[in-house]
Amino acid sequence: MVKKLLSCFVNIDANARSDYFDGTALHLAASLGYLAIIQELLNKGANVDIKNAYGETALRFPAESGDLGTVQFLVSKGANVNLTGEFSFPLHYAVESGHLEVVKFLISNGAEKNAKNKYGETPLQLATSLGRLDITKFLLDSVHVDMKSEDGGILLTSAARSGNLEIIKFLIDKGADVNTKPQDDVIPLHEAVKSDNLAAVEVLVSNGADINAKTKNNTTTLHVAAKSGNLAIVEFLVSKGADVTAENKFGHTPLHFPKYSGSLKIVELLVGNGADLHAKDKTGKTPLHYAVEFGNSEFTGFLVGQGADLHAKDKKG
């Protein structure tokens, strides 16, 4: 049927582009999984590596959908597995969608294992950030990352950001350093706290993560937790010895941050564990200044009741 249909168009241009879907008939057939049409288009002279408006070849589509048969066919016809589009390589799309067999095939046919997508991620980094455990295991065996190096730290930080416990535990078992600082002095624990994942926080701390580690802005994990308003994480960090008086680059202590989340319980917890009511940031403002500025009468009443100085002045007087 396909052959008969195409034979009706003797002078068909197999590489003609359509404004409707920003590509050629080959791109459309590949995106729909129509292998028979793909075969005939190639027989009619379609360029297997022609790019659409986003710089993508037809290979991107079956790689993303997990259509291994079409991937194999296109590669057998000379498709370049390392041609990138505007965003990613075919390998990245296979990783992102969780298609292990496609990942294996592409790598066995020369796909660059350390290629980076538009966002600077390698396939392995993408797999860890998305919680693709089977693909992470396969790629880690393929690229032989030194888990004690910064590369290992980047992977663990990505996993902590996504909060996938299986990936976090797997990488730690493989030797990833829980206190590595691959970028901006942020350790994986900062990312786990930021993602509000208590279970991930507990795993990292139980494996030696430094609760009081500071970023380049001197931000601790307790600063992050207090700002996000996650009471359970604040409680856990304080119970493990987090410094309730630590100051960041701007002079903020954790007690300056509940203004964002509106959590009175966090304020009560911090004060009950020694937070300084009178701590001033670089502008001279105390937690009470912020409670008043944000119009939080509960904070204001509690802080005043605990002895906060009503007459404290910031640098503006």
Task: Tell me the pLDDT band of 300, cut-offs 50, 70 and 90.
Answer: confident
Range 231-245 average pLDDT: 97
Question: Contact, 54 vs 85, CB < 8 A?
Answer: yes
| Interval 44-61: pLDDT, tens | 899 999 998 889 999 999
55: DSSP letter: S
Least confident of 8-12, 39-43, 241-245: 8-12
Check whether 104 has a pLDDT greater than 90.
Answer: yes
The reported pLDDT for the residue numbered 198 is 96
Check whether 184 has a pLDDT greater than 90.
Answer: no
Range 146-165 average pLDDT: 83
Range 129-154 average pLDDT: 84
Q: Structure tokens of 85?
A: 């589009």
Beta strands in the chain (DSSP E): 17-18, 23-24
Strand partners, 186: 183
Range 131-160 average pLDDT: 85
Task: Tell me the pLDDT band of 8, cut-offs 50, 70 and 90.
Answer: very low
List the chain domain ranges: 1-111
Question: Contact, 18 vs 28, CB < 8 A?
Answer: yes
Residues 6+ apart with CB under 8 A from 98: 66, 130, 132, 135
Residues 6+ apart with CB under 8 A from 73: 35, 38, 39
| Interval 32-47: pLDDT, tens | 999 999 999 999 899 9
Q: Which amino acid is at 151?
A: D
CB-CB neighbours of 110 under 10 Å: 11
| CATH homologous superfamily for the domain 1-111 | Ankyrin repeat-containing domain (1.25.40.20)
The reported pLDDT for the residue numbered 5 is 46
| Interval 272-294: pLDDT, tens | 999 999 999 999 999 999 888 88
| Interval 198-213: pLDDT, tens | 999 999 999 999 999 9
CA separation for the pair 190, 237 (Å, rounded): 12
pTM for the whole structure? 0.82
The reported pLDDT for the residue numbered 263 is 83
Highest mean pLDDT range out of 1-5, 152-156, 193-197?
193-197
Highest mean pLDDT range out of 115-119, 238-242, 292-296?
238-242
Residues 6+ apart with CB under 8 A from 54: 22, 85, 86, 87
In a 13 Å sphere around the CA of 71, the CA atoms on its Cβ side amount to 26
The reported pLDDT for the residue numbered 58 is 95
Check whether 10 has a pLDDT greater than 50.
Answer: no
Check whether 6 has a pLDDT greater than 70.
Answer: no
CA separation for the pair 221, 242 (Å, rounded): 8
Tell me the average pLDDT of the chain: 89
Question: Contact, 90 vs 63, CB < 8 A?
Answer: yes
